[in-house]
A and B are shown apart, each in its own frame.
Chain A
């Protein structure tokens, strides 16, 4: 589907919303509510319908909507009274607008005079008003102005380029009137107040021809009398180019008309440009340099077209680099001017070129058919309600499945099959609902380039930002929560990670540092990675600071990886001089807590001298979690399945005592910290020690923790309910959930347990 079809689909959606709104408004208006807000809303609706119709060249719709809009405008400013008759006419007019919209949407033609009666009545009403007008014969201009729809074609330029046969150079022969213009320009203060800038105007003028500018600075007072907002400067500009007209110059100053004094004077032909009849395609004579270039124009229509099109936006004139140096002092810019008539020709031509794509303007011969993708706008709350219900459905379904024991399975095969289908359908339903809430991370990533650019400027570093996977989709809520943490991480990379250019050079790296931002889906998670090729984390200093602040006890010797994670510890800052960019070390711990709030985790890895990688692991969806249901004491708990590595019977687990009194678990040569959940949550357990289970979990990084539980019940999906919203935040608990049998189970926060553990060790 072409872009234009996309826009049309959007337009038709919008029309149907606006038409519904019109209906609602008029229901109220009919009931007597004729206040300004309603009339404005009605006016806006018709105005929007007309605006879009103009862009697509639906001329019949534009014509009618325009007449109607004018009437509404008169009603709105009180020139016409909103009598019951007028209301009736408007309601009829709404129907006609709706019919027009439908006609262009379906391609069914309406009679040419459709709505003509009403249009005549608008006219009569408005003219009646004009007759009463004090100024008497003031003509109703609005009705006489033909609102000419300009068909917009978004692929026009590209398509012209692709089609050299479409020779834009059959443009009207140029009146190669050589031009030498003098412009006197004195801006008023208002020009600056409206954010116009003389420099930009000069840039645009320079694209028109050969320009020289002289600033008149005689009025600038001594510094003591200088008023910062006063304007003291004016300019004399000389602009030389063939075929330059006053209108072209005036157009440059279009926006500042009234905000400056300006005079434009033609000084007569400059002999240097007296190129006889230099119509480009027809002049193979002339000077050698010039004819070379013009011959090129014949061959390389496209290239020159590009050039001509770019010319107005180009920087100041490039001095002639013509290899035939002795050619007249004709600048490239001037040459661009010579060929310029081609540019408007392209613009004019565009609609024709693409006629097949952009179906005809007139509904009478319209080809507008399949509108393609349709969309509706839905309140997010409504979607969330569906998400929640689907979540409950998933749980009920999994509960039902659990109820099926072997005997039941054998007896009710049909039921079993039905349940299987139900399971499949629920999954599908869940995925579809989640897809509604999903959005590309692009919206967050797109804020980063500017951030990096500013940081680079501020710190004097050279930083390049690369983004990968910005179309990866994540739940809308996650995206909203992602912005702050990500900003902080990128800041951190730019500020602390990337070194200054000379430091990089000394380390044998390129002067330009790179920050790479990537997003990818990995199983049920989304990974967002912020990576830099900077100096890496200075572990010695991090550890020293951490010991200093009591975050790590003197007798604990954390591994390199553990040290890296310390930057997320609350109240931690390594910057020996506090930078005004990353702040005072409040930040990385905020990142961690923000990410945890949305069920994610952060992990950092660093390579000394080579760089740092921070990985955010986020849930694909917030609502439903795959978990393992366990029992601790009499209470059910759930552990997120994504963090479980394996489960082991305690009788088979190799525990070892450590001198401090705690226990560690040896798994394949690795020592893992043990947390007895019964102990941790102060629950009584009567299960024999050897009948209990070890749930080996992997917290962020490759760090493992062994949770001891009384029993393992099984695997299922749960809908997460926030504890913070319904109760308060509890350490070691990530949330709650309601099980299929109605019992409440708490979700174990593996990462949180581990952090608490580390603090304990440190204390």
Chain B
């Protein structure tokens, strides 16, 4: 079986690096984008099994990114996980309203991250 592909979108390189480390160790194939715009560009040419996105980003924030992804029509069933901090319940709700599938609380626990992904990916 080939590796599941994850698109990680975050403007923080630290977070991207941590996600990359955790996910690739767990056998995922990880691609990175630094804002929603870059994420959309990658989605145009490549397929993913799940997206993990931050909310606060320059150029295009996570909420708008999720909206765009859902609006394209071909990614209706693509799971999107939102990276939030535990104090930002409202962001989480906004993310869900935009079409987010679930969320991951930052700073994330690697094990929890993997199990959350398995909750939304076949």
Contact = CB atoms under 8 A, between A and B. Distances in A.
Contacts of A313: 114-115, 118
Contact of A152 (B29, B85, B109, B122): B109
Nearest to A21: B58
What DSSP secondary structure best describes chain A's contact surface? helix
A195 B109 contact: no
A214 interface: no
A514 to B, nearest CB: 15
B97 to A, nearest CB: 9
Given A55-B107, A449-B29, A193 B87 contact: no
B99 A154 contact: no
A201 B121 CA distance: 10
Given A7-B14, A313-B118, A51 B5 contact: no
Nearest to A3: B21
Contact of A195 (B12, B56, B79, B111): B79
A283 B42 CA distance: 55
Interface string B103-122: 10011111110110011111
A195 B77 contact: yes
Given A3-B21, A197-B122, A446 B107 contact: no
A223 interface: no
Interface centre among B80, B107, B108 (most CB of A within 10 A): B107
A237 to B, nearest CB: 16
B99 A55 contact: no
Interface stretch (A141-149, A398-406, A645-653, A656-664): A141-149
A369 B114 CA distance: 30
Interface in B1-38: 2-3, 5, 11-15, 17-18, 21-22, 25, 29
Given A48-B11, A54-B107, A450-B2, A194 B17 contact: no
Contact of B14 (A10, A43, A197, A199): A10
Nearest to B85: A51
Contact of B101 (A55, A196, A252): A196
Given A152-B109, A255-B119, A10 B13 contact: yes
Contacts of A193: 70, 76, 99
A154 B21 contact: yes
Contact of A44 (B58, B96, B102): B58
A312 B24 CA distance: 20
B78 interface: yes
B100 interface: yes
A731 B21 CA distance: 48
Contacts of A171: none
A157 B110 contact: yes
Contacts of A309: 111
Nearest to A377: B13
B17 A7 contact: yes
B107 A149 contact: yes
Interface string A32-63: 00000000110110011001101100000000
A450 B29 CA distance: 10
Given A195-B78, A195-B120, A6 B17 contact: yes
A453 B119 CA distance: 23
B64 interface: no
A209 B3 CA distance: 28
B72 interface: no
Contacts of B115: 312-313
A152 B96 contact: no
Interface residues on A, range: 35 or more
A254 B100 CA distance: 13
Contacts of A48: 11-12, 14-15, 56
B57 interface: yes
A347 B100 contact: no
B57 A255 contact: no
Interface string A189-227: 000111111011100100000000000000000000000
A200 B11 contact: no
B15 A51 contact: yes
B29 A200 contact: no
A249 interface: no
Contacts of B120: 195-197, 200, 255
Nearest to B5: A450
Contacts of A43: 56
Interface in B59-77: 70, 76-77
Contacts of B17: 6-7, 10
- Which of B46, B119, B121 has the most chain A CB atoms closer than 10 A to its own CB? B119
A194 B18 contact: no
A520 interface: no
Contacts of A252: 119
A153 B111 CA distance: 10
Nearest to B102: A255
Interface in A135-179: 142, 145, 147, 149-154, 156-157
Interface in A7-22: 7, 10-11, 13-14
Contacts of B18: 7, 55, 152, 154
Nearest to A309: B111
Contacts of B14: 7, 10-11, 14, 48, 51-52, 55
Interface centre among A142, A194, A252 (most CB of B within 10 A): A194
A645 to B, nearest CB: 41
Interface in A442-464: 446-447, 449-450, 452-453
A453 B102 CA distance: 28
Contacts of B5: 450
B2 A453 contact: yes
A51 B121 CA distance: 26
B107 to A, nearest CB: 4
Contacts of B122: 197, 199-200
Contacts of A3: 21
Interface in A216-269: 252, 254-255, 258
Interface of A: 3, 6-7, 10-11, 13-14, 40-41, 43-44, 47-48, 51-52, 54-55, 142, 145, 147, 149-154, 156-157, 192-197, 199-201, 204, 252, 254-255, 258, 309, 312-313, 346-347, 446-447, 449-450, 452-453
15 contacts: A3-B21, A7-B14, A51-B12, A51-B85, A54-B106, A142-B87, A150-B107, A194-B99, A196-B79, A197-B122, A199-B122, A252-B119, A313-B115, A347-B112, A453-B2
Given A54-B106, A195-B79, A255-B103, 19 more contacts: A7-B14, A7-B17, A10-B14, A44-B56, A44-B58, A48-B15, A48-B56, A51-B15, A54-B85, A54-B107, A149-B107, A153-B110, A192-B77, A195-B101, A200-B119, A313-B118, A347-B109, A446-B29, A450-B2
